[in-house]
Amino acid sequence: MNFSVILTTVGILAAVSAGLSVIISVADAVLNNYGTCQLDINNGEKLLSVKGGSSLLSLLASEKIFIPSACGGKATCGLCKVGVLEGGGPLLLTEEPYISLEERKQHIRLSCQVKVKTDMKLRIPEELFNIKEFLCELVEVEDMTYDIKRLRLKLPAGESIKFKAGQFVQFYSKPYGKVREEAFRAYSISSKASETDHLELLIRLVPNGIVTTYVHTALQVGDTVRLSGPYGDFYLRGDCEELVMIAGGSGLAPIRSLVYDVIEKGLPHKMRFFFGANTMRDLYYMEEFTQIERDYPQFKFIPCLARPAPEDNWQGVTGFVTVALEEQVADSVSKEAYLCGSPGMLDACIKILKTKGFTDETIFYDKF
């Protein structure tokens, strides 16, 4: 085959594929043109006209109604539940693991999986209407460890965020490098709930992760960051005398906010904070928590290193955080547990807490 035949063949194939993609996009536009759909929320409390064809989650967000979501719409967090009374079609396979039998009876759906194709009747909890969107300025970035950055974000002048210590915000990354689209993920607020004009986040780099790679490689001080929030039910109940707090990695973020909340409000609770890490290079905020321990006798800080390196000269607790928990928490009497970190670590800790009498009503957690 000579060179001109190869070129002609490639040219024909390119023309055919371009033709096909035009046909597909025209067909998509025609077949998936759902026109304007009416969303009736809470029996006429809000009536919205939206252009059909996208997920309920994203269409509600475009109307400034923010439904909690941690996975960016990938059907892996199960947080984006709303009641879809009419117009949602059948429950999808992707939704099934997250919707209990009781929730099915109440027509609960994952809003990221429901596509708006027709008029719908929805039921959305009132408190979600208080969630706001903020365009913040990134004013500080600090390396806390080799893979965790602290971001300090300033809210626009005159705006403030009211949140409960322990809650999270949704952080929107912009297109960068080969990532063509905006993405959003959940990040717990690590700063004090009393500080309402700034927010701090602790973001650990996940290799090949879309949003954390954006934060660690593309985001610059001075950039504008879009956030929405606050979200979540990980916050202090405090119906007890002692709080057992457990975190690993960036799971320290909401615990830091909780600790300051108890102190600033002058609450009487004793606090024991178990912070699990591998080696010394994974520890951070050590000086700050040690200082809090000196200043407030009600607070005890227990960092645990699973695999301290010889050069770490580690004098503290050695072993997994579960070992320290087993040894240092005798029972569950008048205690609540607050946990944040990886699913593996949390599951292991929850198992131990339950052997000590803690129940689903006294254990609160955010897994990430």
Ligand X SMILES: Cc1cc2nc3c(=O)[nH]c(=O)nc-3n(C[C@H](O)[C@H](O)[C@H](O)COP(=O)(O)OP(=O)(O)OC[C@H]3O[C@@H](n4cnc5c(N)ncnc54)[C@H](O)[C@@H]3O)c2cc1C
> Which residues would be at the binding site for ligand FES (CB under 6 A)?
69-71, 73, 75-80, 110, 112
CA distance 256 to 271: 12
Q: Which of residues 71-100 bind ligand X (CB under 6 A)?
A: 77
CA angle 268, 271, 275 (to 5 degrees): 160
Beta bridge partners of 336: 243
Q: Which residue is nearest to ligand X (CB)?
A: 209
Phi-psi sector, 354: left (phi>0), alpha (psi -120 to 50), beta: alpha
- Pick one of ligand X, ligand FES, none as the site partner of residue 217 (Cβ within 5 to 8 A by kind): none
Taking the complex as a whole, how short is the minimal distance between the CB of residue 152 and ligand X, in angstroms? 14
Beta-carbon neighbour count of residue 313 at 10 Å?
8
Place of tokens 């969107």: 133
Taking the complex as a whole, how short is the minimal distance between the CB of residue 80 and ligand FES, in angstroms? 3
CA distance 123 to 74: 22
Backbone angles phi, psi at 130, to 5 degrees: -85, -10
Taking the complex as a whole, how short is the minimal distance between the CB of residue 79 and ligand X, in angstroms? 7
Q: Does 138 bind ligand X (CB under 6 A)?
A: no
Which x/- pattern over 314-333 shows residues binding ligand X (rule: CB under 6 A)?
Answer: --------------------
Taking the complex as a whole, how short is the minimal distance between the CB of residue 19 and ligand FES, in angstroms? 36
Q: Does 181 bind ligand X (CB under 6 A)?
A: no
Q: Is 102 helix (H, G, I), strand (E, B) or coil?
A: helix
CA distance 257 to 28: 47
Contact 34, 98 (CB under 8 A): no
The residue from 52, 78, 209, 238 that contacts ligand X (CB under 6 A) is 209
Taking the complex as a whole, how short is the minimal distance between the CB of residue 206 and ligand FES, in angstroms? 16
**Interaction site with ligand X (CB under 6 A):** 70, 77, 168, 185-188, 202-204, 206, 208-212, 232, 250, 253, 366, 368
